[in-house]
Structure 1
Amino acid sequence: MTGIIAVTPRALSQGGHRALAALEAAGYEILFPTPGRQPTREEQLRFLPTCVGYLAGVEPISREVLTTARGLKVISRNGVGTDAIDLDAAAEFGIAVETAAGANAQGVAELAVTLMLAGLRQVPTQDATLKAGRWQRLEGREVAGRILGVIGCGQIGRRVARLGLGLGMSVRAFDAVPDPSFAPAGDFSFTTLEDLLAQADVVTLHCPPAARPVIDKEALTTVKPGAYLINTARSALVDDEAVRQALADGTLAGYATDVFGQEPPDPRELHRHPRVTMTPHIGGYTKESVERATRAAVENLLRVLSARP
């Protein structure tokens, strides 16, 4: 046996995946320490010291945990985010951190557009009232001719922009480092964050977290009244209380989120709001995205481990 590799993403840890067979073929033992759920810190402290590789999900990986995992050579995420990993500690201990760049981009982009369409037509509310025995028709809004604001124009944001343009929308994008080579056909342009918030009928987040939320009380004072907000990126990008207040005073027409600071989330007043739509972190949870991400994560594990003594 070459070593043990822990596999914890919920999409893999219960039913496995055929791509994992490449790890076994290379002589590694696969460990599923917490089938179907994220591991806790205490569980990580128990299983990681025995591992050389870690195919990780979105769970936090702290310095404390990495300090005990002295045989660990590589953490390979089946997604793109690394904000849950203590990267300084990983670098200090010589642990490589790899991501499956772009593997889930299409799935997340499609979910963002799905949430936009469902929100503007008030589908979740009307579904719930009809199932409760009430015939209640709520007027919706069409997206054609409206402005879509995309904050973060990487692989996911670009796909969302193209999908929006395909629906007849104008697209305004903000990125910390805008790429002038991205110029899709249609009414598309890069702009400032302030101008985007002031113009957009729909604002969708596709950027990494920063020191403070992108959508906070101050940002919401500049938002176009009646805008719809979508977050399929990171929960830290949004100040929940500021969004709740913006829904209450009509600044926002609705909010949809696929991401939470804790999974499952603690019940909050915001989450119970009738104009809030939630999905349980399913952006990259499609058959196609799981396939791409798993294969990329496995290839990264084998590449890094094969380069080590």
Structure 2
Amino acid sequence: MRMDWGRGNFAARARSDTLPAMQWNVTLTARASFDAGRQAQELLRDAGCRVTVADPFGPLDVTALRRVLRGEQAVLASSDAYSALMFASPELADLKVVSRWGVGLDCVDLPAATRAGVVICNTPGLLDEAVADYAWALLFAVARRVDQGQALLRAGEWSVAWGNDIHGKTLGIIGCGRIGRAVARRAAGFGMRVLGHDPALASGRVDGIEAATLERVLAESDFVTLHAALTPENRGLVNAARLRLMKPTAYLVNTARGALVDEAALIGALSRRELAGAAIDAFAVEPLPADSPLRSCPRMLITPHQAFNSVETGEKVSLLAAQAIVDCLQGRRPQYVANPDVLASPALRTTLS
């Protein structure tokens, strides 16, 4: 089932002379672009787009994408599976633009998109502060046992859950890009020592982060927070051997990608009390299956990949993702193109200046 949000009126618009004599069909698979994207939807309709909302929302698999994107020119996308097989599908022959709601592109085969002439856009920079805030929210909640205290009180008990201090401890950041550095800035207010590991991080101290090896970050930190992009090289980065490097009093926080962590190894470490706790917002398989052992793992706080879900940030990201589609429709290069080589390709499915 798909919900039609109507179409814009070309003839009545003051900007109609700048628009191509065509109408684009645009599907929203990113739930956030629906929940916090009314202005983005209006922007698309005002530009002459017929906007359709996928039901269910993404992430969608190949079969579902073929169904909902048949005859569509653009998609405001969740972390759907945009593989080489998808871009070669006849059902997607009209697809010109995939505009990702968010930053991550591990779900998109960029070389295949370029070969197919499809422009891939994303929204870097807008999620940084919201995700950094949420990483700290999880860190505080798991360290001070906030979820356990609430559960006891709701169960009718008046009992306390003992946690651990944050102030003055050592914070380890794996992935020191924009979000990792935003997390580090917040640590200064808590008098924390900050260690960081990132292949691009220079030696010494940068933005308050002391560069260190991955092994040192894991071994010396009281709190380890993950902010690395997922690549083939770092899939399963935090595995059983690396979890054993961590202190038994340490906590792991993941607001990045679930596949960075060996989830079975993490469950084992927590069950054996080899870690004090973990707060996880991203999973290897999403949505998290109802029978996943992560749901019942002791000393683990889990949330449904909502680190970026603040209303203000959602509106900004939705607008930027929608603007990329409008730019392509109106023949302009979008601000952020993830596969810029496509712009010079004879296979390019739209015309951009």
TM-score (norm 2): 0.82
Shift of residue 256 of structure 1?
Answer: 0.9
What pairs with 1:26-45 in structure 2 (closer than 5 Å)? 26-34=47-55, 38-45=59-66
Q: Distance in 2 between matches of 1:288 and 1:223?
A: 36
Shift of residue 46 of structure 1?
Answer: 1.8
Shift of residue 11 of structure 1?
Answer: 1.8
The residue number in structure 2 matching 1:63 is 84
The residue number in structure 2 matching 1:272 is 296
Q: Flag the structure with larger Rg.
A: 2
The SS at the match of 1:51 is coil
After superposing on structure 2, the runs of 4+ consecutive aligned residues of structure 1 that deviate more than 4 Å are: 35-38, 179-182
The SS at the match of 2:69 is helix
Q: Does 1:136 align with 2:159?
A: yes
Q: Distance in 2 between matches of 1:255 and 1:120?
A: 9
The residue number in structure 1 matching 2:222 is 201
Q: Does 1:296 align with 2:320?
A: yes
% identical equivalent positions: 35
The SS at the match of 2:165 is coil
| Counterpart residue identity of residue 265, structure 1 | L
Runs of 5+ unmatched residues, structure 1: none
Q: Indicate how the Cα distance of structure 1 residues 156 and 10 shifts in structure 2: closer, same or farther if over 3 A, else same.
A: same
Shift of residue 16 of structure 1?
Answer: 4.6
1:164-203: per-residue Cα shift (whole Å, max 9, x none)? Answer: 1222211111111115798335xx3111111111110000
Q: Does 1:19 align with 2:40?
A: yes
Cα contact 1:33–1:39 (8 A) shared by 2: no
* Bigger Cα displacement from structure 2, 91-100 vs 40-49: 40-49
* Bigger Cα displacement from structure 2, 119-128 vs 39-48: 39-48
Q: Distance in 2 between matches of 1:123 and 1:101?
A: 32
Q: Does 1:95 align with 2:129?
A: no
1:211-240: per-residue Cα shift (whole Å, max 9, x none)? Answer: 331110111121122210011000100001
The SS at the match of 2:156 is coil
The residue number in structure 1 matching 2:146 is 123
Shift of residue 37 of structure 1?
Answer: 5.3
The residue number in structure 2 matching 1:192 is 213
Shift of residue 15 of structure 1?
Answer: 7.1
Cα contact 1:10–1:38 (8 A) shared by 2: no
Cα contact 1:3–1:28 (8 A) shared by 2: yes
Cα contact 2:58–2:78 (8 A) shared by 1: no
Q: Does 1:4 align with 2:4?
A: no
| Counterpart residue identity of residue 317, structure 2 | A
Cα contact 2:218–2:224 (8 A) shared by 1: yes
The SS at the match of 1:29 is strand
The SS at the match of 2:293 is coil
* Bigger Cα displacement from structure 2, 77-86 vs 174-183: 174-183
1:91-149: per-residue Cα shift (whole Å, max 9, x none)? Answer: 22011111100111111111110010011111111211221122221222111110010
The residue number in structure 1 matching 2:280 is 257
Runs of 5+ unmatched residues, structure 2: 1-21, 333-349
Cα contact 2:204–2:211 (8 A) shared by 1: no
| Counterpart residue identity of residue 51, structure 1 | E
Alpha carbon RMSD of aligned pairs, Å?
2.0
